Amino acid sequence: MNLNNFKMASRLTLGFGSVLALLLLIVAISYVCLVRTQSDMDATLAMERQASLADEWMLKTQLNVDRRIAVAKSAGQPDVEAHFNPLMDQTVAQIGELQKTLEAAISDTEGKALLAAIADKRKAYQVIRDQMNAFLKNADQPAAEALLKEKMLPASVAYLGSVSDLQKHERRLAAARSDEVRSALRLAKLLLIGLSAASLLLGACMALVITRSVTRPLQEAVAAAHVIANNDLSQSLDSPRRDELGELLRALGQMQSSLRQMVGQVRVTTDSISTASTEIASGNQDLSARTEQTASNLQQAASSMEQLTGTVKQSADSARQANQLASSAAEVAARGGQVVSQVVSTMDEINASSKKIADIIGVIDGIAFQTNILALNAAVEAARAGEQGRGFAVVAGEVRNLAGRSAEAAKEIKGLIGASVERVEAGSRLVGDAGKTMQEIVGSVQRVTDIIGEITAAAAEQSDGIAQVNTAVVQLDQMTQQNAALVEESAAAAESLKDQAGKLSQVVGMFKLVAGASVSTVSNVSAASPPVAKVAAHVQATQQVIAKARAESSAKDAPKRAAPAKPVAAAQSKPAVEIKPATPVFSDTKPLPRPAPPSTPAPSGSTAPDGDWETF
């Protein structure tokens, strides 16, 4: 079984599990031994107690026998008998209790046989004792002494001997049990010592094996880390182990391989960055010259726009004055139209009055004609009257003459009135035509006023637009100057980038690579390391942009000054390109200070003339 193929958790579980299993075995055996020892100790204590009870039985029996002998020998001394009899009775009762206790405690056959023998001999002794008591009670001293010598002493000796046999038997059993307990304890001690030694040996072996299986690959990993820390990437790391440490060594090998490849790629990229920074610095110098020329052209355009702004403002003022004059003329024409309308109304009234006068003259002419007829009739009647009607005839003649003259005057007035009516009608027609002409003049003047107003508004808008264009040109001039400062800063940043690339090349050069690892291409960079691939691709794009800018610069001898002006919105949609300073690679390289931001920020969302330069 190869532990190197086990995981660390499995290995530690196996080691600690083995130790714990042995520990549990030791605990189980210790528990069994303790339980057995406890049982043996209980049995030993019980036997010791039985032996103690036998000793006590022996002692009390011997004491009572001695008391009986003393009472038997002291016949005629009631005080001795009175003193010993209660004590003997008490001792007899105690011996009875001891006998019952031992009979209940002793379970072996030999012990029971000894108890039976003791009981028989005790009964025989009690019979002799009762006879002794009877002799003493009857004061038969000789019989008592004879009974004492012949029967009681041998019976007491036999009784005490049986008790002594039981005592010896219990002592022997207690000693045997004690020996068994000692043997069991000695065996348990040896077993525990052996298991403990085996556990210690197994634990030490497992600890040694597990420690060596952990420390050796860790030492290899530490050695590999020291090699990598000493900038040596030429060695390869691999391990056939299947545990975590094998994975660690393989991961270190992969890290070393990736670091080796990355260092080679960084070395190639630093060379590309150094070349690109040189080209960027050259391109920035060309861009700085073109930016300065653009700034001078913008200054000239700004002065021209200021002159154009003054001219447009003057035109706008003239247009406003013409608008005011046209408004005044429109008001005068409107008032003249109103007067002509009133004249037309008056001529219409005069024409109506003339027609009425003509009618009245017609009536007067009719009256004169009728008066003439009446005067003629009166003359005829006066002629018929003769002399009587002569005076009346004269009056009638005069009336006729007056009627004739009135008729002629009425005809002349009628003719004059007719001519006057015709002239009034002609005047009315002329006045009507004049009114229509005045209405047309008023409309034309109003249209002229509107057109001049539109011209004035357009001139004002043009003035505002020219002012905005002038402001935009001024802002473009400021932004161009700021762009020139940014270009100078970009050139300085390119120089700093070149220095940092050189330092980075020196740092990368400290690493020791295997043969062929330091030679790489940009395509390999893009395939292996995404960050380095982005840098290399960006360097290539920058080189292409610089080459394109140089080609355009050589194709154009001078900027076109007569280019048409762009709308204000288009001019405002070109923001200044913000070029950030290069971030220092080393702590001892400080970034260059940035110029102040423009006073009016360009609107967001617009596109720069060259997206690649904006990215840079």
pLDDT digits (tens, 9 = 90+) for 267-285: 778 777 777 777 777 777 7
pLDDT 10s digits, 232-251: 766 666 666 666 767 777 77
Residue 150: pLDDT band (50, 70, 90) is confident
What's the CA dihedral at 185, 189, 195, 199 to 10 degrees?
A: 140
Is the distance from CB of 155 to CB of 124 less than 8 angstroms?
Answer: yes
In 3D space, the residue among 461, 480, 557, 464 whose CA is nearest the CA of residue 300 turns out to be: 480
Lowest average pLDDT, out of 156-160, 269-273, 597-601, goes to 597-601
CA distance 468 to 475: 10
Is the distance from CB of 603 to CB of 572 less than 8 angstroms?
Answer: yes
Q: What is the largest CA-CA distance in the chain?
A: 260
pLDDT of residue 19: 79
Long-range contacts of range 480-485, CB-CB < 8 Å, 24 or more positions apart? 480/291, 480/294, 480/295, 480/298, 481/295, 482/576, 482/595, 482/596, 482/598, 483/291, 483/576, 483/577, 484/288, 484/291, 484/292, 484/295, 485/595
Around Cβ 149, how many Cβ atoms within 10 Å? 11
Give per-residue burial for 369-384: e unless 16+ CB within 10 Å, then b: eebbeebeebbeebee
In 3D space, the residue among 399, 366, 368 whose CA is nearest the CA of residue 382 turns out to be: 399
Give per-residue burial for 580-605: e unless 16+ CB within 10 Å, then b: ebbebeeeeeeebeeeeebeeebeee
Triad 494, 594, 479: Cα angle to 5°: 100
In 3D space, the residue among 213, 178, 525, 463 whose CA is nearest the CA of residue 317 turns out to be: 463
**31 vs 520, higher pLDDT:** 31
Give the single-character DSSP code of 562: S
pLDDT of residue 538: 55
CA distance 177 to 36: 12
Tell me phi and psi for residue 569, to 5 degrees: -65, -40
**610 vs 174, higher pLDDT:** 174
Residue 606: pLDDT band (50, 70, 90) is very low
Tell me phi and psi for residue 497, to 5 degrees: -60, -40
What is the pLDDT averaged over residues 313-342?
A: 76
The secondary structure element, H or E, covering residue 553 is: helix 530-555
Tell me phi and psi for residue 150, to 5 degrees: -85, -40
Close Cβ partners of 592 (under 8 Å, ≥ 6 residues apart): 489, 492, 493, 496, 581
Amino acid, res. 316: A
For residue 249, give both structure tokens. 């060594």
pLDDT 10s digits, 457-510: 887 777 777 778 878 877 877 788 778 777 777 777 877 877 777 777 777 766
Give the single-character DSSP code of 576: P
CA distance 13 to 19: 10
The pTM score is 0.34
Is pLDDT above 70 for 180?
Answer: yes
What is the pLDDT averaged over residues 290-294?
A: 78
For residue 70, give both structure tokens. 């003393």
Is the distance from CB of 319 to CB of 452 less than 8 angstroms?
Answer: yes
pLDDT of residue 242: 66
pLDDT, mean over the chain: 72
- What SS3 class is residue 17? helix
Residues above pLDDT 90, as percent of the chain: 0
Is the distance from CB of 21 to CB of 205 less than 8 angstroms?
Answer: no
CA distance 221 to 579: 46
In 3D space, the residue among 418, 468, 417, 430 whose CA is nearest the CA of residue 348 turns out to be: 430
Half-sphere exposure of 394 (CA within 13 A, CB side): 4
pLDDT of residue 456: 79
Tell me phi and psi for residue 577, to 5 degrees: -80, 120
CA distance 297 to 290: 11
Phi-psi region of 596 (alpha: psi -120 to 50; beta: other; left: phi over 0): beta
Amino acid, res. 49: R
Is the distance from CB of 250 to CB of 239 less than 8 angstroms?
Answer: yes
Around Cβ 39, how many Cβ atoms within 10 Å? 12
Give the single-character DSSP code of 148: I
pLDDT of residue 553: 56
What's the CA dihedral at 96, 102, 104, 108 to 10 degrees?
A: -140
What is the pLDDT averaged over residues 167-187?
A: 81
pLDDT 10s digits, 21-65: 888 888 888 788 778 777 777 777 777 777 777 777 777 777 777
CA distance 514 to 290: 48
pLDDT of residue 95: 77
Is the distance from CB of 421 to CB of 351 less than 8 angstroms?
Answer: yes
CA distance 439 to 431: 12
Residue 537: pLDDT band (50, 70, 90) is low
Tell me phi and psi for residue 338, to 5 degrees: -65, -40
pLDDT of residue 75: 62
Domains of the chain, each with CATH number or no CATH? 3-223 (1.20.120.30), 273-558+583-615 (1.10.287.950)
Is the distance from CB of 548 to CB of 297 less than 8 angstroms?
Answer: no
CA distance 63 to 87: 10
What is the pLDDT averaged over residues 92-115?
A: 78
Is pLDDT above 50 for 580?
Answer: no
Is the distance from CB of 306 to CB of 463 less than 8 angstroms?
Answer: no
Is pLDDT above 80 for 165?
Answer: yes
What is the pLDDT averaged over residues 180-206?
A: 83
Amino acid, res. 435: G
What is the pLDDT averaged over residues 428-447?
A: 77
CA 592 vs. chain centroid, Å, equals: 34
Q: Which residues, listed in sequence order, are joined to residue 512 by a DSSP beta bridge? A: 232
CA distance 451 to 445: 10
